[in-house]
Amino acid sequence: IAQCLVGSEMCIRDREDAKTRHIRGRWILLYGVLGIWNEWMEKGIDLGESAAGFLSVSSVLVLVNLLRPGSFGGGDIKLTAVAGTVLGWERNFAAFAMAMWLSGIFCAVMLATRRMTRKSAIPLGPFLCAGILGETMSGLLTSGASTMG
């Protein structure tokens, strides 16, 4: 529940990212601390899974950034690293895939309505938060269903 609350707050705060293209580190840190605490309280932390999650998407973003500088911001990379620590590597990839899908739909609509061009940059933070929140909620629903029956 704490993850969802902080995730919701991050989505609200990501309006700032849409305007300033900057994700504040304190929200990323708060999400990570509460998420790790929640995981520890529920089932204990699997350090291997957390480490794999930390490196999963964020390392791909770093590599892409090295090949094509400016592709992703530092806040996007930190956010995916912290989300991976909390979600694990498989769910982190699922959250990232959802974010890419949502951002693709957004870009398609904006291009179709001529509100942006193919060279326009978009803030990725709001889409990452939506993917992370979606994956967190799906995890809660799945774990709730498995404990009920």
Asked if 88 and 58 count as a contact pair (C-beta separation under 8 A), the reply is: no
Q: In 46-124, which ranges are continuous DSSP H helix?
A: 47-67, 74-87, 89-112
More confident: 49 or 13 = 49
Tokens of 54: 């930390």
d(CA 69, CA 8): 30
pLDDT digits (tens, 9 = 90+) for 108-121: 999 999 999 988 88
Look up the pTM and report it.
0.77
pLDDT digits (tens, 9 = 90+) for 37-67: 766 666 666 778 888 988 999 999 999 999 9
